[in-house]
Amino acid sequence: MNVMDNTEKINFKAKRLEKLVNLYGEEDAYRYIDGNKQADKLADKIYDTPITETPNITKYHNKYILKSNRKKTTKKGDKNLIINTRVRKTVKETIRNDFSEEVWKKDKYNNIKQYKESINKMSTEILRDKSPDRESGRKMMMRMLHGTLPTCEKIDRLVQIEKSNGRSSTFYKDKYERHTNEGLCPCCLQETETVRHLFFECEHPKLIETREQLESQVQKAVNKHVDEIHISTKFVGIVTANNNPK
């Protein structure tokens, strides 16, 4: 009987495999079969996992819930308690505000706070846009805003702090010391290389040429999104309102 059973099982599996191959192709069929085996192994692990008891959700749990998979805004629980399930947005807003208040207290953001009204609103839109095409530009903008670009001034400061504190870690010293150039701009070798010096003040011919090309690049970027509009690019290093009402 066992021999007959095994033969039937083998034939049954062979027919199912043939159907899968015809439906998905040989490569995908075998990949799906292997994936199902791994899924079965993971499913079997649940029997060895201890059962975790969780409390019933009540209206008092709202301040702890970050995400809910409920589709309705509210739901009646035991004893007709109304449970608000749309709390994630409020909690995220609270956390974001608390965190940002501490961050913006730092002195390095004084310029941004002082000239906030003069910053083009398009910059904010680009930072919030999630399009993959803008990822490299958005990353550069964020690093400039938060002062995390690896300029010579910054990496030299990190190396010197590590040396003076006598820390056991020598990460910055080992990785960056040969690149610090004592904090000087590697182009002109005259001034400390800060973000402002690199992008606005350095008189090296190549950097001047690059900055001149930025004007046309800005116009090209704007024209991809708004037709027949001209935004002045004469705002480099100048406090001026550049927000076009349209």
pLDDT at residue 72 is higher than 60: no
Structure tokens at 244: 């076009």
Q: Give the Å distances, CA to CA, from 169 to 141, 154, 162, 217.
A: 30, 18, 8, 42
**All structural domains of the chain with their residue ranges:** 2-48
pLDDT in tens, 135-192: 888 888 888 888 888 899 999 998 988 888 876 778 888 888 888 889 999 999 999 9
Q: What is the pLDDT of residue 142?
A: 84
Q: Against a cut of 0.95, is the pTM above it?
A: no
Confidence of residue 98 (pLDDT cuts 50, 70, 90): confident
Whether the predicted pLDDT of 56 surpasses 80: no
Tokens (6 digits) for 114:
């002082």
pLDDT mean over 55-79? 51
Report the pLDDT averaged over residues 16-27: 86
How many Cβ atoms are within 10 Å of 234's Cβ, its own excluded?
Answer: 9
**CA 211 – CA 217 distance, rounded (Å):** 10
d(CA 61, CA 2): 57
Quote the pLDDT of residue 68: 47
- Alpha-carbon distance 1 to 135, whole Å? 65
